[in-house]
Chain A
Amino acid sequence: MAAPSVSCGAAVPYRLFLAGRVSFAREQGLWKAAASGLQTGTRCQILRLKHSPAVTTTKNVAALRRESYTVDFIKKQIEEFNIGKRHLANMMGEDPETFTQEDVDASLSMGFSRQEYWNGLPCPPPGDLPDPRDRTQGSCIAGRFFTSGPAGEALTELIHVVFWRLLEKTAGPYVVHLRLGAVLPPGGEGHLETCRGDMCQEHRRAITYLFPSGLFEKRARPIMKHPEEIFPKQRAVQWGEDGRPFHFLFYTGKQSYYSLMHEAYGKVLHAEERQDQLRAKGLFSEKSKSKDLIGSRWLIKEELEEMLVEKLSDQDYAQFIRLLERLSALPCDAAEEEFVGRFRRTVTVQSKKHLIEPLQYDEQGMAFSTGQGKRKTANAEAVVYGHGSGKIEINGVDYLLYFPVTQDREQLMFPFHFLDRLGKHDVTCTVSGGGRSSQAGAIRLAMSRALCSFITEDEVEWMRQAGLLTTDPRVRERKKPGQEGARRKFTWKKR
């Protein structure tokens, strides 16, 4: 994790700077100088090259190597994250201990208005920020916030945390120049607790509320997550000061994998031994193990790699799964089952559970149900009546007149035909926008959703598998400059 030492700000090559930003935790003083240097850096780069030829001709090994973080650094990030979380809770007026459970909407309704809050601060609200896409001014985003007063401090801390995450995620030229000292809340580290995975919906909504971003790329927007989720998992140093590795399988190259295999095989032998003993005693009985295997799946290769923090080959993975299956086939005790359970993930049978509205009844006592559907730019709303003769009315016009093309009428027929309910329901719908085909698709979706109230759960699942309940995500792709259409390029002329 050795970044080349950053020389004085006037002579910083751009590439080295990027590699070095990771380690600026130590170079605080130089940072500010480098910050001012960046703005002139790109312009002056060519000039700088002349002054320091020795630096540029050597291969930039550090930049090519993957960035790695020290354990201290990660710990620091976790502390700061927790502080930021507490600040956020304070801002929202919630109890920091149980912030994750509060509803942001409820807290907002208690009088927290964004405008009021921002008016009370000596800094402009995020809406006045310059266009985030305007990269040349990236340096001044954070600079406009300055510490004054406790609320301001909390906010700047939060901003620091948030923008730091932003920086990590995009690895773009957004640079946070102001490195603020960590401000611990009164009471010290007692309040810090690692809250892995507690960052949930409310947090995210609060962040998107406080820091609205105009960026299209969702991954470039400000986020506030636990550092474990952001920084990739890395292995600690594997050998001691004398250079001797800690693990006995270090020299295999894939120590975690082989140690896991060793452990699993040990368990297999153990289980077989126990099975032999039972057989010898005559107490052996066939036990079905299918119970715990249903509804779950083995880890996939990527998940296993992530768990072991090691690269595996396909054959390794296959071998491991075979061993685990062999283990699970034998009668195991609780410890072994728990061991196997670590490598299984549950698979929900019904991956999509959406609400099924109950039937409504109108004045005559007729059961009906409404549904909405969208396709491209068409929006449709359908009301399906329980008893009818198969009449469909769209915007007051019979469907035969509204859709003279057979293809559109076939689309309307699909849900009913699928459920064998042709001619049993009456439908009244309204549709707007889009063209002929997208209106037909939107009505079809709306009708299917409305029909869900009339049918059994199984049939809903069949409909979902048939694709009747899914909004078609395809929309028109934008035309790009330099091309004739979304994909079509201009005719290529040789000369």
Chain B
Amino acid sequence: MLKGMTRLVSRVHKNCVIFILEQCRGSCTYGCLPWKRETSWLDPGRFSHLGTQAPQCPVAHLDNQVPTERTRAISRTLENDPAKHGEQHVGQHYNISIQELKTVFPHGLPPRFVMQVKTFNEACLMVRKPALELLHYLKNTNFAHPAVRYVLYGEKGTGKTLSLCHIIHFCAKQDWLILHIPDAHLWVKNCRDLLQSTYNKQRFDQPLEASIWLKNFKTANERFLSQIKVQDKYVWNKRESTEKGSPLAEVVEQGIMRVRNATDAVGIVLKELKRQSSLGVFRLLVAVDGVNALWGRTTLKREDKSPITPEELALIYNLRKMVKNDWQGGAIVLTVSQTGSLFKPRKAYLPQELLGKEGFDTLDPFIPILVSNYNPKEFEGCIQYYLENNWLQHEKAHTEEGKKELLFLSNRNPGLLERLCAYL
């Protein structure tokens, strides 16, 4: 079926096991897991199979041939277009090709997921109910009305970021313009270089973060940048300026070239996009992960050690304007997360707790969508997916007892399950 699939055919040969991997085109030959042990797989004296250490696993795999087809039916779906995902696909993984991944998600995926993609050589996202709900809303948006705000919330590790990525993938397929801020928390902490803003003396610039974001933005939305024209003249400094009517790509280029002006470039981009999406030329999706960073506290300090509030950062200030629902022609999908947040208790996960009074009032009204732990079907699907990719090497992982143990230990939390399975 799927192009990137590998199949294992094992043959016991005296005291060593030789695995023959049948591959379709596209992926590398015997995908050794980068951080598991690498061995050459023709050593007669050693068991080797995708870098496994357990000598019992060859026996386990002999049994795994027959149910492979059935497990694939549980854990995978052939439907790769998010627009066509429905209730029947809940719990199943769909594939995103690597090229699409590079264009759509230059910077959006959680780091552990990126590692998993690199390991399995394929990017598979699970279809889940909250994402389906959101997709339904998005399909039925009325673009004449102001942009609706959706807030994904839930406990740690339940899959808010990946649901957001699912939505982004859908919108990208639908040819929307994606404005994706991967983690707003990164903008409010650990910034080495804070410059006084050229535009407004009270605010601060963050050239590094801004330039990185501009690069990724460019990768994600290449085709739009030449179409959209700026509607104002912007003077960068004595020698450089952008004329009215020039494509947005120039602004982005300017921001990337001149890192000092990157923050201002970001501000301009946001402003222009907001203005022009209301005209209906394109549809805009504003996706912010960790939006509670915009209204919390920062760990940044001025030279005189006094703390900086978020509104004094130019990036945050402009982003706040973006998140307001005073424009039409798109949607705003947000996530609140405690993971990167500053000065918030570990157990807080509700929007009220994480956004604080100010943020909640600003974002009000919004549609909250709860992302919870896996239900039994999704859990089963996830385990099957790991088994298919031979990620679970423990001999008990195939058995019912092993699954029950994993269920108990992770309590069906996706993030925890992933971390647990990494050890098996």
Contact = CB atoms under 8 A, between A and B. Distances in A.
A413 B409 contact: yes
A202 B409 CA distance: 49
A413 B416 contact: no
A2 interface: no
Contact of A406 (B155, B404, B407, B409): B409
A207 B420 CA distance: 58
Given A422-B404, A423-B404, A400 B347 contact: no
Given A400-B411, A401-B347, A416-B408, 5 more contacts: A390-B407, A390-B408, A422-B404, A422-B405, A422-B408
A467 to B, nearest CB: 19
Contacts of B404: 422-423
Interface residues of A, number: 16
Interface in A413-430: 413, 416-417, 420, 422-423
A223 B411 CA distance: 55
Interface string A180-224: 000000000000000000000000000000000000000000000
B401 interface: yes
Contacts of A404: 346
Interface string A30-69: 0000000000000000000000000000000000000000
24 contacts: A390-B408, A397-B347, A398-B411, A399-B411, A400-B410, A400-B411, A400-B413, A400-B416, A401-B347, A404-B346, A406-B409, A406-B420, A409-B408, A409-B409, A413-B405, A413-B408, A416-B408, A417-B408, A420-B401, A422-B401, A422-B407, A422-B408, A423-B404, A423-B408
A417 B405 CA distance: 8
Kindly list the 6 A-B residue pairs having the minimum CB-CB distance in the complex, ordered from nearest. A422-B404, A400-B411, A413-B408, A409-B409, A422-B408, A401-B347
Q: Mostly helix, strand, loop or mixed at chain A's interface?
A: helix
B52 to A, nearest CB: 22
A97 interface: no
Contacts of B410: 400
Interface string A116-142: 000000000000000000000000000
Contacts of A390: 407-408
A325 interface: no
Nearest to A409: B409
Q: Mostly helix, strand, loop or mixed at chain B's interface?
A: helix
Interface size class of B (residues with CB under 8 A): 10 to 19
A409 B416 CA distance: 12
A422 B405 CA distance: 7
A410 interface: yes
Contacts of B411: 398-400
Contacts of B413: 400
Nearest to B157: A400
Interface in A374-415: 390, 397-401, 404, 406, 409-410, 413
A397 B413 CA distance: 15
A410 B423 CA distance: 14
A401 B155 contact: yes
Nearest to B404: A422
A404 to B, nearest CB: 8
Contacts of B346: 404
Interface in B27-46: none
B349 to A, nearest CB: 9
Nearest to B347: A401
Contacts of A416: 408
Contacts of A409: 408-409
A440 to B, nearest CB: 13
Contacts of B420: 406
Nearest to A412: B408
A395 to B, nearest CB: 12
Interface string B384-417: 0000000000000000010011011111010010
Among B401, B409, B420, find the residue whose CB has the most chain A CB atoms closer than 10 A: B409
A56 B413 CA distance: 81
B411 to A, nearest CB: 4
A412 B416 CA distance: 16
A404 B407 CA distance: 15
Interface string B64-89: 00000000000000000000000000
A464 B47 CA distance: 40
